[in-house]
């Protein structure tokens, strides 16, 4: 039924493949192993043996606009302070919907410095009590800082 030659070819092929995989894991014949260069390549590139985490605080974490008219674009300025010994980076700001946004005035915030974060809330098409959040991704631990905007849109 089966040709003995094909059976031997398949068995020897499996054996040779297993041996090559085991030897490659030890000797890296195919050159696929990554060499740890000691560099973290994320939003910014840094040496892994140096920690560039800092501490930051917001002047306030939420703001209530109160009763507002539908269609208005609201804004409020928050202050963020670098309380650590390393530069503070705000890598990204993202809102819970497309109706909120935040703009940070500086790319790098030196230690001991306070800068403005201007937030915007577009109330067009949104009626009733609104609660929206903005996430700031920073080089802090934890990496996410939350800002909450509230309004009662009439």
- Angle 47-45-51 (CA atoms, 0-180°, nearest 5)? 40
CATH topology of domain 56-153: Immunoglobulin-like (2.60.40)
pLDDT tens, the chain, 154 aa long: 557 788 888 888 999 988 888 777 777 666 655 555 555 555 556 565 566 789 999 999 999 999 999 999 999 999 999 999 989 999 899 999 999 999 998 888 999 999 999 999 999 999 999 999 999 999 888 889 999 999 999 9
Name the pTM for this structure. Answer: 0.65
Q: Taking the CB of residue 21, how many other CB atoms lie within 10 A of it?
A: 10
If DSSP codes are grouped into helix, strand and coil, which group holds residue 24? helix
Domain boundaries, the chain: 4-47, 56-153
């Amino acid at each position: 039924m089966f040709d003995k030659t094909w059976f031997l070819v398949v068995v020897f092929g499996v054996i040779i493949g297993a041996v090559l995989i085991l030897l490659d894991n030890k000797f890296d014949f195919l050159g696929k192993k990554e060499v740890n260069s000691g560099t973290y390549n994320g939003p910014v590139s840094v040496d892994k043996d140096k920690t560039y985490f800092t501490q930051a605080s917001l002047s306030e974490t939420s703001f209530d606009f109160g009763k507002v008219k539908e269609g208005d674009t609201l804004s409020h300025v928050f202050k963020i302070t670098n309380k650590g010994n390393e530069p503070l980076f705000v890598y990204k700001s993202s809102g819970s919907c497309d109706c909120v946004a935040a703009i940070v005035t500086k790319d790098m915030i030196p230690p001991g410095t306070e800068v403005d974060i201007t937030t915007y809330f577009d109330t067009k098409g949104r009626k009733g009590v609104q609660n929206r959040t903005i996430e700031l991704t920073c080089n802090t631990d934890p990496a996410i800082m939350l800002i909450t905007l509230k309004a009662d849109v009439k």
